[in-house]
Structure 1
Amino acid sequence: MPRRFLPAALALLLTVPALAEETGFAAPKAATASPYLYAKSGAKAERAKSAGEAGAKVIGGEVAAEGAWPWQVALLVGGAPVGTDAQFCGGSMVMDRWVLTAAHCVHMPQDDGSFADLRPEEVNILVGTNTLAPGAGDLIPVEGIFRHPSYQGTQFDFDIALIKLSRAPQVPYQTIEVPDAEYGDLLNQQGVTTIVTGWGLQEGAQPSPELRQAQIQVLDRALCNQAMLEARAEDAAGGFGYAVQTLGIAEQDAYAIWDELIARAPESVSENMICSGTFEGGKTSCNGDSGGPLVVPVDGGGYIQAGIVSWGLSATSGQGCEETALFSAYTNISKFVPWLNEVIAANP
């Protein structure tokens, strides 16, 4: 990456002894953060009492009409009463007994630093309602959880999982189609209209039991990666400058090392992801929406699910999500259709 990224910032850091304050970089939400453990611990309910904190929601969205998005489901902590405090992720009905969601929703950090999948009894699936309230929809036990084998809890890639229900729902619902690889390539083009749906906290961290929706659009993956790299570089400059000062590295050598670091930085948005948001910012998904669907309206009516809510940007305060973020990243389902078919065929 050209040195033009941060020459002024680096020059300042190379000459000023003290560390600069935080740059305000909105970093990706850590993959190790567990939506399930967050809800189960009661921290979600506790945080909702603090009106001053940013919350997790479909940012910039609106309440969905009752009955809209009939494939949307909610993942709830097993054994907990139906409500916003128990909901920790979203998902979508892709077959009568199969729910599509994000791997990070079902793959949990353990006390010893390892990761393990949730047990089926630790999750219930709420189907057939847009409202998280006792008596609404059909609360269904889980029979099996299937995480993509390449997903690891310390990363964002391959963020996809399937959940098999113990039975078919007994309330009205619909399944949604997913695209094959060829159609997926057509959908993953800049400017394609997308709609993200999910539950979560609204502004001020107040919980909303109502499903929300926001219309956004696919953004060019290369542009999203460029924006992320610039922001990451801005954030990293402070620590780099301090290290250069402490070690007594010559300025010319420092720039050469910096250029090498930038060149080696991995892409944030991989080929397995869709970047979607708005150029003006303020409309995106957030952690309460993890695992939920990103759908695309198709000619002749109807929708197809192109993505799964995977990761977004953290607020610079360290609380909640960056509400002015231009985009979030979504798992590109079309890359995983063979795996989906394999899992479903092997577990009739």
Structure 2
Amino acid sequence: MRGLKRAAVLGALTLATVGMQPLTATAATPPVVGGTPAEQGEFPFMVRLSMGCGGALYAKDIVLTAAHCVDGSGDNTSITATAGVVDLESPDAVKVKSTKVLQAPGYNGKGKDWALIKLAKPIDQPTLKIASDDKLNNGEFDIAGWGADKEGGEQQRYLLKAKVPFVSDADCKAAYGDDLTPGEEICAGKIAEGGVDTCQGDSGGPMFRKDDAGEYVQVGIVSWGNGCARPKFPGVYTEVSTFSADIAKAASGL
């Protein structure tokens, strides 16, 4: 059975003191399940979306998020993007409304979990480059978000961060079987012991790492998993490099 998507229920946004992942939260625990609080300005490309998802600035006026966070494509002014802060209640938070949404063509709930949100005006923050090939799809990745810091937990007020190791397709398929779509999805997490993961409310947020030049590159989009941070069940992310050309083409037409 395919695991839960990591979007949060909008009405459940309770802004606790720490959080990150579509499913975890605890005021006494650092951000993300097994995470710690991010510093102001550490990940300036991070965006919180009003429907209870995360995202990253693909361009100053375009947010890359998950397909399951949006309802189809077309004109849409209902989404508010919050950026520029780790504290969602900060007076310095930049809030911009959406104008259009483009959901991945052919998305049907399995694979292809990406979407673009066009903003009414640019956000003056650095953007996050996306991977155009799979050479960075290994090693250790960074994750961040305002989602729950524990399975079944509350959404967070402060941005949380953590690091998760790459999990091979074979090991991930052992956990999820045919629910996994190799080539379109990439897995990460501490598969033996668990304890670190994205969770509910982190959906659409980026999984990223530094390239040889020391610049952050997005390799994944938070998609789904069996609970949050459970042993043997890593987090599943959209494999960005697979869709980089499609994303670029879609963005140019927004």
TM over 0.5: yes
Q: Which residue of 1 aligns with 2:41?
A: 67
Alignment of 1:106-145 (within 5 A): 106-107=70-71, 116=72, 120-133=76-89, 135-145=91-101
Q: Does residue 165 in structure 1 map to residue 119 in structure 2?
A: yes
- Which structure has the larger Rg? 1
Q: 1:147 aligns with which of 81, 98, 103?
A: 103
Residue 90 of structure 1: which of 54, 59, 65 is its match? Answer: 54
Residue ranges of structure 1 left out of the alignment (5+ in a row): 1-25, 49-54, 78-87, 108-115, 230-265, 315-320
- Aligned with residue 104 of structure 1, among 53, 58, 68: 68
Which of 210, 224, 227 lines up with 1:297 in the alignment? 210
AA at the equivalent of 1:120: N
Out of 223, 226, 248, the position equivalent to 2:174 is 226
For 1:306, the aligned partner's letter is: V
Partner of residue 344, structure 1: 251
- Deviations along 1:292-337, one digit per CA (max 9) or x if unpaired, are 01001222322111010011212xxxxxx35445410110111112
Query: Which residue of 140, 146, 151 corresponds with 1:193?
Result: 140
Letter in 1 for 2:148: L
Aligned twin of 1:7: none
Identity within the alignment, %: 30
Secondary structure of 2:241 counterpart: helix
Cα distance change of structure 1 residues 118 and 135 upon mapping to structure 2, 3 Å threshold: farther
| Residue-pair matches, total | 241
CA contact (8 A) 1:313 1:325 kept: no
Q: How far 1:67 moved relative to its partner?
A: 1.0
The answer to which structure has the higher strand fraction is 2
Name the counterpart of 1:273.
185
Seen in structure 2, the aligned counterparts of structure 1 residues 134 and 121 have a Cα distance that, compared at 3 Å, is farther
Superposed, 1:224-263 pairs within 5 Å as 224-229=172-177
Greater RCO (CA < 8 Å, at least 6 residues apart): 2
Match of 2:200 among 282, 287, 295: 287
> Are the equivalent residues in 2 in contact too, given 1:221–1:269 (CA < 8 A)?
no
What's the TM-score once normalised by structure 2's chain length? 0.85
User: Offset of 1:129 from its aligned partner?
Assistant: 0.8
Q: Deviations over 1:58-113 (max 9, x none)?
A: 21111111111110000014xxxxxxxxxx00000111211100000112xxxxxx
* Higher-helix-fraction structure: 1
Which whole-Å CA distance do the structure 1 matches of 2:186 and 2:69 have between them?
Answer: 18
Deviation of residue 144 (structure 1)? 0.8
In the alignment, the residues of structure 1 paired with residue 203 and residue 229 of structure 2 have an alpha-carbon distance, to the nearest angstrom, of 15
Instruction: Look up the SS of the partner of 1:151 in the other structure.
Output: coil
Q: Report the residue type matching 1:121 in the other structure.
A: T
**Which ranges in structure 2 are unaligned for 5 or more consecutive residues?**
17-22, 26-31
Asked whether the equivalents of residues 77 and 100 of structure 2 are also in contact (C-alpha less than 8 Å), the reply is no
- TM-score, normalising length: structure 1: 0.64
What code does the residue aligned with 2:159 have? L
Q: CA deviation at 1:167?
A: 0.6
Q: How far apart in 1 are the matches of 2:100 and 2:60?
A: 14
Runs of 4 or more off by more than 6 Å in structure 1? none
CA 1:45 to 1:130, structure 2 compared with 1: closer, same or farther past 3 Å?
closer
Tell me if structure 2 keeps the 8 A contact 1:93–1:176.
yes
